[in-house]
């Protein structure tokens, strides 16, 4: 057994063994791949690893011995730890380099539009709406499609016995599928996002919330799933003038015409007071109805001043904060603007229909470049 320079062998290992262990381990690390590296780490530094065993011998040494061998053993541990880390980093960097070398795109190649597919009119109209309302300072909010009774109805001033519940043809989940004791349903409108926004965010609030909604209804103008967009503004001193201006500005931008005429008819929604239904005037051009003018009227959305009970339900003081809300069907807006007449075709996935009514993937609607793409 070779002696340490100070002549001892009492540590239970021999100096040549120590050097060999060091040299061999470092050499092995230098050639290891990632899997082998982990194996070496376990053999050297793991619970019953060689270097761990050496470290354990320190406890049985006299203070003098420990002073002599301690730094060597710790030095070995550090050298091996560092070598493993360095090798690992080098291997990972090399692997990343290799991946980057194979996964690349030539951004200068012209796009082959055929391979990109098209944008569905619903997505197109939602993008158009987001662009128009962003310009007016509205953020886009969202909420879950699986809602609870409270957000979809009660908080919106539609109590259990209210006839409006029956009107909504709600898809309820089975009674044994409650969440935190709450009965769940597929949201029947985007209005619950009003509640989710007001309970989460302090006024001033200016949001739109586009999304899917569900009602048990199906014919040429109704599908069980369709799309709505909600608008909500809450601040101090908001009145119906703000509502009318916002709707007029939005509809002019959306239909890209200045001769848009609105008619607000008194109506009823439990969550707004007063409530109105908005008609937009149309004229006839070559037998077709075209938005603009006032030869006839088409209903486009529901709106009103947010009911004070709804504001209260969200923990806000209705004497301090007022606001307006509106809601409309995105699919319906798309049909009016782009002249489709059967709503069911929207969800058939017929490629011929999509090719005809779809939009080019790279034509992003902007106010400056044209909302209609
Ligand atoms: N949620 C109503 C509907 O689905 C629309 C609406 C929204 C009306 C906001 C007024 C205010 O018919």
**Contact, 170 vs 185, CB < 8 A?**
yes
Low pLDDT (below 50) residues in the chain: 1-13
Query: Closest Cα partner for 24 from 44, 3, 48?
Result: 44
Query: Closest Cα partner for 299 from 344, 257, 324, 262?
Result: 262
Rounded to the nearest whole angstrom, what is the distance from the C-alpha of residue 28 to the centroid of ligand 1? 71
Q: Looking at residue 194, what is its pLDDT?
A: 98
- What six digits make up the tokens of 205? 């609030």
Rounded to the nearest whole angstrom, what is the distance from the C-alpha of residue 164 to the centroid of ligand 1? 12
Mean of pLDDT over the chain: 88
Grouping H, G, I as helix, E, B as strand and the rest as coil, residue 220 is coil
Q: Looking at residue 15, what is its pLDDT?
A: 57
Q: Looking at residue 107, what is its pLDDT?
A: 83
Rounded to the nearest whole angstrom, what is the distance from the C-alpha of residue 213 to the centroid of ligand 1? 12
Q: What number does the ligand 1 atom closest to the CA of 191 have?
A: 1
Q: Looking at residue 136, what is its pLDDT?
A: 96
Q: Is the pTM of this model over 0.75?
A: no
Rounded to the nearest whole angstrom, what is the distance from the C-alpha of residue 289 to the centroid of ligand 1? 25
All domains of the chain in start order, with CATH? 2-102 (no CATH), 120-357 (3.30.930.10)
Q: What number does the ligand 1 atom closest to the CA of 194 have?
A: 9
Rounded to the nearest whole angstrom, what is the distance from the C-alpha of residue 64 to the centroid of ligand 1? 85
Residue nearest to atom 10 of ligand 1 (CA): 303
Residue 366, strand partner residues: 370
Residue nearest to atom 4 of ligand 1 (CA): 189
CA–CA distance, 238 with 254 (Å, rounded to integer): 23
Ligand 1 and 158: CB distance under 6 A: no
């Amino acid at each position: 057994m070779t002696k340490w320079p100070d002549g001892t062998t009492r540590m239970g290992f021999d100096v040549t063994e120590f050097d060999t262990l060091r040299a061999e381990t470092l050499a092995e690390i230098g050639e290891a791949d990632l899997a082998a590296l982990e194996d070496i780490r376990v053999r050297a530094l793991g619970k019953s690893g060689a270097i761990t065993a050496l470290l354990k011998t320190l406890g049985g040494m006299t203070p003098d011995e420990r002073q002599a061998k301690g730094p060597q053993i710790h030095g070995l541990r550090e050298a091996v730890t560092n070598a493993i880390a360095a090798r690992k980093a080098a291997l990972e960097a090399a692997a990343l380099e290799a991946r980057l070398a194979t996964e690349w795109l030539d951004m200068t190649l012209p796009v082959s539009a055929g391979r990109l597919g098209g944008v569905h009119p619903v997505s197109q109209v939602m993008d158009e709406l987001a662009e128009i309302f962003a310009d007016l300072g509205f953020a886009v909010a969202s909420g879950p499609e699986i809602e609870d009774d409270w957000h979809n109805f009660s908080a919106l001033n539609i109590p259990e016995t209210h006839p409006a519940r029956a009107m909504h043809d709600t898809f309820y989940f089975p009674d044994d599928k409650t969440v935190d004791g709450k009965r769940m349903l597929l949201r029947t409108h985007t209005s619950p996002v009003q509640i989710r926004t007001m309970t989460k965010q302090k006024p001033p609030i200016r949001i739109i919330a586009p999304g899917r909604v569900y009602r048990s209804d199906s014919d040429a103008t109704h599908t069980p799933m369709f799309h709505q967009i909600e608008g909500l503004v809450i601040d101090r001193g908001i009145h119906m003038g703000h509502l009318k201006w916002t709707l007029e500005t939005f509809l002019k931008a959306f239909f890209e015409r200045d001769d848009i005429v609105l008619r607000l008819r008194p109506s009823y929604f439990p969550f707004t007071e007063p409530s109105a239904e908005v008609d937009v005037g149309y004229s006839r051009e070559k037998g077709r109805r075209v938005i603009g003018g006032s030869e006839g009227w088409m209903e486009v959305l529901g709106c009103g001043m947010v009911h004070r009970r709804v504001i209260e339900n969200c923990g806000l003081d209705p004497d301090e904060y007022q606001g307006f809300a509106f809601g409309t069907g995105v699919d319906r807006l798309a049909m009016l603007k782009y002249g489709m007449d059967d709503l069911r075709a929207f969800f058939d996935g017929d490629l011929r229909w999509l090719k005809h009514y779809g939009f080019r993937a790279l034509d992003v609607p902007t106010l400056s470049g044209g909302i209609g793409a």
